[in-house]
Amino acid sequence: MWQSYSNGLLIAAGLIIALGAQNAFVLAQSLRREHHLPVAMLCVICDALLVTAGVFGLAAVLAQNPILLGVARWGGAAFLLWYGAQASLRACRPQALAQTTDNNPRSRKAVLLAALAVTLLNPHVYLDTVLLIGSLGAQQPVPGAYALGAASASLMWFLSLALGAAWLAPWLARPNTWRFIDLGVALMMFSIAWQLLSSPNML
């Protein structure tokens, strides 16, 4: 169970903690203290629902088709290796997480709708959560623990942005911070890919 949980935690962390529109939006709302906690929780809930749908929906399909299971296994490992390589390249030329500024306050409804748009209208979110994280989770010994680990990574990251934005902003604005983050992400992705290919429990 703990192996499945840690796999979900590490894989989701590697995908969530990256430069992107969703992280920039949450950070900006947090720095302005404009409905930042509801925005963070909305992102966590969306991630948890998408991951759960991917894990358990794909688990049922893969359990009935060994060929698809093999495709998911090798395809997932290939994607993890590619993602790790991309993170390694980003570490060689790191960027900073930029934040937008907007002096016009918005209602909670407007902010949450904007957060939903940033989260759900991005096609990469479905590739990451439903297809990649879901297909890998469907192969775990305990898929439920894996989904919980992925949700935990999302919860820790977005709450960190929401509650610690003022402290995190100077660090996230430094390219060297993202160099270390991307190196850590690359190591996590390579490690999980190796485990996926070498562990008989993943077959």
- Write out the H or E segment, with its range, that includes residue 17: none
Over residues 104-154, the pLDDT tens digits come to: 677 889 889 988 887 887 656 776 777 778 777 777 778 888 889 888 998
> 158, 160, 133, 161: which is closest to 147 by C-alpha?
133
Mean confidence (pLDDT) of the chain: 77
3-state secondary structure of 175: helix
Over residues 28-69, the pLDDT tens digits come to: 778 777 788 999 999 999 988 888 888 888 666 766 777 776
Sign (positive or negative) of CA dihedral 201, 10, 25, 164? positive
pTM equals 0.65
C-alpha–C-alpha distance, residues 89 and 82, integer Å: 11
Find how far residue 122's CA is from the centre of its chain. 13
